[in-house]
Amino acid sequence: MTEGGAPIGVVGTGYVGLVTAVCFAHLGHHVVCMDVDAAKVESLRRGAVPIYEPGLDKLIEDNAVRLSFTTSYDELLAACHTLYIAVDTPPTLAGDADLSRVLNATHQIAQRGGRRLLVMKSTVPVGTGERIVADLEAAGLKGEVTYVSNPEFLREGAAIQDFLEPDRIVIGSSTVEDGDAVEELYRGIDTMVVRTNVPTAEMIKYASNAFLATKISFINEIANVCEQVGADVRTVAHGMGLDHRIGPHFLQAGIGYGGSCFPKDVQALKQLAGNSGYHFQLLTAVLEVNHLQKRRMVGKLKRHLGQLRDKHVALLGLTFKPNTDDLREASSIVLAARLLGEGATVSAYDPVIAPGDHALFPGVTLCADAMEALRGADAVVLVTEWAEFARLDWPAARELMRRPFVLDGRNFLDPETLAAAGFEYDGVGTGDLGLARAPVANG
Ligand code: UGA
């Protein structure tokens, strides 16, 4: 409970808002969740969770007595003093973060007056907090509404664990009391708390995501060089990661990062720097490497199969990573479109994507299981490392395919198992497997 035993309010029931709300409920707080989407609120009231996040439905069920859902700002504000903002900030056409939903929420809150503690969970550009405070003061709410930045570091698919067992909690505030009030909400979680001012907290979020994306693009470039010189990036990453200054995480080479965060946040930080007169060269390269990495898979397929016209390529996995149903900025979208552009036939299977037509994959045959997708294929590309693909009956798959060739876009499958099943295998930077070292073009 917060001030006066009032519940915490959370505006936005996307994956960040919902996970935040449910985890605070799990910590013992009453939480009122508000969303403008009436259908979503209705389904949450019935206990139906609109997103795929392991463990979330169970946690909602367990904490149902402390959770309520509404579409009404009046209802939310009548109940809550502390208000988390967790609406999305998609990129604008200019590449900046679109703050319209955030500003609409703060406007709705300001219009209704009253003493409030606004806490920002949404990822917003550095300077947003100061801008919101200035707007609130201009609206005559000086001293009434105070503001804290409390960014999220939740990975989709592991969001509950990331909330309840975080590496750190970051709290940016302009007064000690406001920061204390937010820190108190996390009582029960044993971790480092970084207390700072609002712009610094905002920057910690962007810098963290941009650094992780940089690590991925870096190891992807190392993988590409490994292919030229016959080295194996998996062992290179292992050898690098044992140095504690580097660490083993986010050194998994592959077909590029996707999702709702890295692509947008790297772009937004680059844009933020540019808008303030600084050209962030490194991030420009990180974005370009990621863009080309997806296309490289097409070049590799051509190297193995020759021209792709009239070839059949099967994709295993479509989501931007396993254990989520999120397709935002998934590498599969670009890959499928490029393959179709080359004249290939494309089939696909993903455990959480229903068969039939899909707006993001026009022209792709979405199948009900992996074997159906592989039938008659000249190559299979592993795009998303869902656990079930490691357990696939590869000898049976070989019988179904026209040509037994696997391109492992995540270095996830065991090359020896595949070789034993009669497959030709190639990965990303996994060393020269007897092929001539011709450079691989970005398809
Ligand atoms: C990311 C961050 O990891 C979270 O800390 C952050 O809170 C979140 O963004 C956000 O800003 O909301 P998320 O996008 O859910 O989380 O996914 P990650 O697990 O970080 O993976 C992102 C992408 O990088 C995926 O496409 C994944 O396949 C790729 N990746 C990750 C690699 O290609 N190699 C790696 O070694 C690690």
Q: What is the 3-state secondary structure (H, E, C) of 360-425?
A: CCCCCEECCCHHHHHCCCCEEEECCCCHHHHCCCHHHHHHHCCCCEEEECCCCCCHHHHHHCCCEE
pLDDT for the residue 92? 85
Average of per-residue pLDDT across 169-192: 97
Q: Are 88 and 101 in contact (CB under 8 A)?
A: yes
Whole-angstrom Cα distance, residue 386 to residue 363?
Answer: 23
Name the least confident of 130-144, 184-198, 254-268.
130-144
pLDDT for the residue 90? 87
Q: Are 125 and 199 in contact (CB under 8 A)?
A: no
* pLDDT tens-digit map of 321-376: 999 899 999 999 999 999 999 999 999 999 999 999 999 999 999 999 999 999 99
* pLDDT tens-digit map of 379-425: 999 999 999 999 999 999 999 999 999 999 999 999 999 999 999 99
pLDDT for the residue 5? 63
* pLDDT tens-digit map of 270-285: 999 999 999 999 999 9
367 is catalytic: no
In the structure, what pLDDT confidence band is assigned to residue 144 with cuts at 50, 70 and 90? confident
pLDDT for the residue 4? 44
pLDDT for the residue 442? 65
In the structure, what pLDDT confidence band is assigned to residue 97 with cuts at 50, 70 and 90? confident
Residue nearest to atom 33 of ligand 1 (CA): 257
Class of domain 231-426: alpha beta
Contacts of 273 (CB under 8 A, 6+ apart): 279, 280, 283
Q: Which residues have CB under 6 Å of ligand 1?
A: 123, 152-156, 209, 212, 216, 250-252, 254, 257-259, 261-262, 265, 320-321
Strands 31-34 and 8-11: parallel
- The label of the residue with tokens 């449910």 reads 22
Q: How many angstroms separate the alpha carbon of residue 149 from the centre of ligand 1?
A: 21
Whole-angstrom Cα distance, residue 216 to residue 222?
Answer: 10
More confident residue, 141 or 179: 179
CATH number for 8-196 (one of 1.10.10.10, 3.40.50.620, 3.30.360.10, 3.40.50.720): it is: 3.40.50.720
pLDDT for the residue 3? 43
pLDDT for the residue 432? 54
Q: What percent of the chain has pLDDT over 70?
A: 96
In the structure, what pLDDT confidence band is assigned to residue 441 with cuts at 50, 70 and 90? low
Q: Please compute, for residue 317, the number of CA atoms within 13 A of its CA located in the half-sphere on the CB side.
A: 25
In the structure, what pLDDT confidence band is assigned to residue 41 with cuts at 50, 70 and 90? very high
From 33, 226, 261, 367, active-site residue: 261
Residue nearest to atom 28 of ligand 1 (CA): 321
Q: Is residue 119 over pLDDT 50?
A: yes
**Residue ranges of the chain assigned to CATH 3.40.50.720:** 8-196, 231-426
Q: Which of 86-95, 107-116, 307-316 has the highest mean pLDDT?
A: 307-316
HEC string for 87-100: CCCCECCCCCECCH
- Pairs from 326-330 (Cβ < 8 Å, separation ≥ 24): 326/156, 326/259, 326/260, 327/353, 327/360, 328/258, 328/259, 328/260, 329/258, 329/259, 329/260, 329/262, 329/263, 329/264, 330/258, 330/259, 330/360, 330/383, 330/384
